Amino acid sequence: MISKKLGDLLNDQVNFEYYSAYIYFSMAAQFKHDGLNGFSNWMNVQTQEELCHGTAMLNHLVQRGFKPEMKAIPQPPVSWKSPLSIFENALEHEEMVTKRIHGIAAAAESEKDFALLNFIQWFISEQVEEEANDNEIIGQLRLIGEAKGGLFMMDKELGARKFALPVIPGGGLAQAGA
């Protein structure tokens, strides 16, 4: 059984993961509106990943005897001035997620909840990848600047991203809606 304090922390993160999905879905809509279908695809894949993260956390809570509580999801931003500003916002958001995940890990360590500590380790590693992906794309966008040909090439590259269902140890099937 997970403690109420840790259950509440992880439950808040479940809701934040779904909020993250909502943000990325809004970013995908902006890219789609702007005719950047590859960028839109990249963000749609990101949306699916966040839904899986939240669902895995929800599953972990249930497995540990905690009843999750779904909360209202705030409205995400709806427009950005450029692809670069979107990815800068995405990086800023992922850095916030990293802080939250680290807080959960620290609380789990403090309470000696090794099951949660083991579970949350996957997300700690995942956050390294999330931030690295955003930083790489930000670097590329800064390099191409206003070059439309570069943006077109990036759009084609980002359009190739495919969703792969993550297997998150201790989270059961991570599939959204599972």
User: Domain range for residue 55?
Assistant: 4-158
- Site of tokens 């599972």: 178
Number of domain units in the chain: 1
3-class secondary-structure state, position 79:
coil
CATH code for the domain in which residue 77 is found:
1.20.1260.10
Query: Does residue 163 lie within any of the structural domains?
Result: no
Query: Does residue 71 lie within any of the structural domains?
Result: yes
| Stretch 103-126: mean pLDDT | 97
What angle, rounded to 10 degrees, do the helices at 37-63 and 83-110 form?
10
Query: Does residue 39 lie within any of the structural domains?
Result: yes
26 or 167, which is more confident: 26
Query: Does residue 169 lie within any of the structural domains?
Result: no
Residue 58 CA to residue 38 CA, distance in Å, equals 30
Q: Whole-number mean pLDDT of the chain?
A: 94
- Site of tokens 């922390």: 9
Q: For residue 142, which amino acid is it?
A: R
Q: What Å distances lie between residue 141 and 78, 145, 178, CA to CA?
A: 21, 6, 36
Query: Does residue 81 lie within any of the structural domains?
Result: yes
| Stretch 3-16: mean pLDDT | 98
Q: What Å distances lie between residue 66 and 8, 11, 27, 50, 168, CA to CA?
A: 9, 9, 33, 21, 19
Q: What share of the chain is helix, strand, coil (3-state, %, to 5)?
A: 70, 0, 30
Model pTM score: 0.92
- Site of tokens 């509580």: 69
3-class secondary-structure state, position 173:
strand
Q: What DSSP letter does each residue of 27-63 carry, written as one string?
A: HHHHHHHTT-HHHHHHHHHHHHHHHHHHHHHHHHHHH
Q: Which residues, in sequence order, are CB contacts of 73 under 8 Å at separation 6+? A: 15, 18, 19, 22
Tell me: the pLDDT tens digits for 52-105? 999 999 999 999 999 999 999 999 999 999 999 999 999 999 999 999 999 999
